Amino acid sequence: MKTFLPNLDELTLRQQVAQMVVVRASGFLFDHEIQYPVWEPPAATLQHWVQDLGVGGVILLGASAGEIALRTQQLQTWASVPLLICADVEEGVGQRFSGATWFPPPMAIAEVAKRDLTLACHYAEQMGRITAQESLAIGLNWLLSPTVDVNNNSDNPVINVRAFGETPEIVGELAKAFIRGAHQHPILTTAKHFPGHGDTAIDSHLELPVIPHSRDRLEQIELPPFKAAISAGVDVVMSAHLQIPALDPNYPATLSPKVLTNELRQNLGFEGLIVTDALVMGAIANRYGTEEACVLAVEAGADILLMPLEPEKAITAVCEAVESGRISHDRIQSSVERLWRAKQKACAITIPSEEGHAWENPPEPILETIELISNIAQPDALSINAELLRHSMRSYHPNPSRLDSLSGVGRNLVIVDSILDCDFLGRTAPAIALPAQFGFTETQIIDRHTPHIDPSNRVQSPTVLQLFIRGNPFRGIAGLTQAAEDWFAFLLNTNQLYAIAVYGSPYVLDRFIPSLLPDVPYVFSYGQMQAAQAIALEALFRSNLE
């Protein structure tokens, strides 16, 4: 693996433009395991993009942390210029790659901040530190976090609990703490989604949201967290696929010089890298297509084109725009110069010398990988994660509690958006196994694929209702599904609801609380992973455990 950067004048125009492109790839090593074939190329195509086209980076999704460690080695071996390799690890590496630490979403830390901002900043800093450490251990050198959007719209399907809170003050402080923690390691951080994606009820993965706010409102709410992140030294800012007429009535932020160059570069003084949000998202792809979107993004001021659907066409389109005079060559060089500075920080760059190159006698790759991944899910990381889950949890324990009156067999009703995507559920998952220890042995799992059942035909049984509901990008879902609403109403009206556990969105719990009877206990956790299930259900059944 080469770990040096050539001089810019050694690269052709096409090679320079290719460095501005980051492609999507599966974390799995084998083609038959690819989960999103529209976006994730087979190995031969991916190798062509990296080795022959010379793309500048890769974004990964899927597989275990151990497999990612091998995948990133493979990618860097193919590359002639060190790659930036990133992932959406807003909730820790374990969110995307099994085996690593999976934190609850950032809004859990905002919950702590309501009571103790100092403690919340401690958690945010530790989350940043651990996420950076575990990312580097498996070969990731660029975090697509923190999210610094202010989620002040409870119907937001795309940000929601991904945000560090609902006020610019808390979001700014927690974002700075996360960056401070991550920068204890040589890794890139990303503030997203500029100029602020928190106040929309439309999912930009599907269509283009329009934000009607005035500049004064943007200055008060949306922009301060970005200013805070920039002051903390954030390396990258990601654009938002949304249109804000007060800033630019013609183009969405990702394609707008008024937003990316005038606002971000000039007014906010940001000197780092600007990356687009994924260009396969419907808000951009459906309106502009690959080629024109990429040209417009570069014209607007973007340095990195993230996930164009057809990378070769994207590179060709930008090169042709330069050759025609539509984009200046200096504009391309300025982006690549920023990329070079970022890669010097994040890619363990060495400078060639008369004594030779550092990569001529590399450590044994397998032994090095084993040593590095030993940094994954260490006891201190798991302990901090458990503390955060407990401190951000909400619960209600009435006395008397309906749980105390269970006689016979009860039902454990679990409702998820899609069981096909629930890695956190399984035979041994606490959400399945723990209620059975207290008599709720009849397990039933419902999702949006389950046929509708007439309430009159539903079996009457004392029920613990567990809901796994949060914002779902690409599905436009922010809160309750119809199945969840129907079952909740049915259980309530037939007096079968004995307890309720909600995992994910606090807005869902807030919808339910006014309707709950006084003797019905509840618990809420921002996390959905098995650690969160165990902590939440132990709290729910606390009196039964004593």
Alpha carbon distance 431, 440 (integer Å): 11
Is residue 201 classed as helix, strand or coil in its secondary structure? coil
Helix residue spans in 363-475 (DSSP H): 365-373, 379-392, 430-436
Q: Could you tell me how far CA 448 lies from the centroid of its own chain?
A: 23
Indicate which residue of 277, 303, 417, 447 is catalytic.
Answer: 277
- Please state at what angle helix 65-78 crosses helix 117-137, rounded to 10 degrees: 60
Query: Do 366 and 69 contact (CB within 8 A), yes or no?
Result: no
How is residue 185 annotated by DSSP? S
Active site residue 404: no
Alpha carbon distance 156, 175 (integer Å): 20
Alpha carbon distance 258, 260 (integer Å): 6
Q: Where are the beta strands (DSSP E) in 142-240?
A: 142-143, 190-194, 236-239
Alpha carbon distance 45, 29 (integer Å): 13
Indicate which residue of 122, 183, 205, 241 is catalytic.
Answer: 205
Active site residue 277: yes
Q: Could you tell me how far CA 198 lies from the centroid of its own chain?
A: 14
Radius of gyration of the CA atoms of the chain, in A: 24
Please choose, from the candidates 111, 96, 90, 102, the residue with its C-alpha nearest in 3D space to the C-alpha of residue 532.
102
Query: Do 191 and 238 contact (CB within 8 A), yes or no?
Result: yes
Task: Give me the active site residues, please.
Answer: 205, 277
